[in-house]
């Protein structure tokens, strides 16, 4: 890399933009603006389908796949010449590609535009404050036992996936002391026209159709 390219790389930014829970109506205006103006755009295939410029417009794109090192390499190469906009679902600070970007590139080269997370929207839909809630993720991971252990009055916000879903997670919570009668709100497709929220108990949740890739809000 020549000196000019090095200087550019030092000044250019990776702009990590939260695109919200799904429906574009929930995207903050600044994120919408930087995405529309991006010369280089990185994101999931669905997000690129929604927000990338039409083919032939000169915008370079990169789909985020399970090959995260390849995505980071693409970002690094593009950063030498220009800013790179990276779209992430929800809010960048909560289980997103920002973690890997932050471990790979200097903080001074990273700018973050926050977004509305699905967990945040779930609590809003339920009119529940969430400043004391414990937020945990079963999406591709298992939280530590202490994070899901029952305490009286506890409130959990839970990210689910296809395997750890609204049927299987209640059993895990009950193994960690949560009562069978604890209230669970099963939230699916939040922000879309077909969103749904079903309120039941942990015991009963095991016997109704499973929801994966959604949100559970559990009240102790």
- For 47-72, what is each residue's pLDDT tens digit? 999 999 988 788 999 999 999 999 99
Mean pLDDT over residues 2-31, rounded?
Answer: 83
- The domain locations on the chain are 3-116, 119-219
In this prediction, residue 1 carries a pLDDT of 47
Mean pLDDT over residues 135-147, rounded?
Answer: 93
Mean pLDDT over residues 22-37, rounded?
Answer: 96
Rounded to two decimals, the pTM is 0.89
Retrieve residue 120's tokens.
């945040």
Using pLDDT thresholds of 50, 70 and 90, give the confidence band for residue 32.
Answer: very high
CB-based contact 130:123 (threshold 8 Å): yes
Residue 181: DSSP 8-state: T
CB-based contact 154:194 (threshold 8 Å): no
In this prediction, residue 3 carries a pLDDT of 42
The β-bridge partners of 187 are 197, 215
In this prediction, residue 9 carries a pLDDT of 58
Using pLDDT thresholds of 50, 70 and 90, give the confidence band for residue 6.
Answer: very low
Mean pLDDT over residues 89-102, rounded?
Answer: 96
CA distance readout (Å), 129 to 121, 125, 136: 11, 11, 16
Residue 174, pLDDT > 50, answer: yes
Q: What are phi and psi of 93, to 5 degrees?
A: -80, -5
Q: Three-class SS of residue 216?
A: strand
Q: What is the pLDDT of residues 196-207, one digit of tens each?
A: 999 999 999 999
Selected from 3.40.1410.10, 3.40.366.10, 3.30.950.10, 1.10.357.10, the CATH number assigned to the domain covering 119-219 reads 3.30.950.10
Which residues are within 8 A (CB) of 62 and not within 5 positions of it... i.e. 6 or more apart?
40, 41, 42, 71, 74, 75
Alpha-carbon gap, residue 164 to 122, rounded angstroms: 18
CATH superfamily, domain 3-116, is Tetrapyrrole methylase, N-terminal domain (3.40.1010.10)
CB-based contact 197:185 (threshold 8 Å): yes
Q: Three-class SS of residue 148?
A: helix
């Amino acid at each position: 890399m020549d000196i000019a390219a090095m200087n550019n790389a030092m000044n250019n930014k990776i702009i990590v933009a939260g695109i919200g829970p799904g429906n574009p109506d929930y995207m903050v205006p600044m994120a919408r603006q930087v995405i529309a103006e991006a010369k280089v755009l990185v994101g999931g295939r669905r997000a690129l389908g929604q927000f990338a410029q039409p083919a032939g417009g000169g915008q370079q794109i990169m789909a985020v796949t399970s090959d995260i090192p390849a995505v980071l390499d693409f970002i690094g190469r593009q950063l030498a010449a220009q800013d790179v906009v990276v779209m992430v679902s929800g809010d960048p600070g909560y289980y997103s590609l920002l973690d890997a970007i932050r471990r790979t590139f200097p903080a001074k080269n990273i700018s973050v535009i926050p977004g509305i997370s699905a967990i945040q929207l779930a609590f809003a839909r339920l009119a529940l404050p969430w400043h004391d809630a414990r937020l945990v993720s079963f999406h591709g991971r298992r939280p530590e036992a202490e994070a899901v252990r029952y305490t009286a009055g506890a409130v959990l916000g839970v990210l689910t996936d296809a395997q750890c879903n609204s049927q299987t997670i209640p059993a895990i919570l009950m193994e960690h002391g949560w009562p069978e009668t604890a209230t669970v709100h099963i939230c699916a497709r939040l922000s879309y026209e077909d969103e749904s929220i079903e309120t039941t108990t942990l015991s009963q949740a095991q016997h109704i159709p499973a929801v994966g890739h959604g949100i559970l809000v559990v009240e102790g």
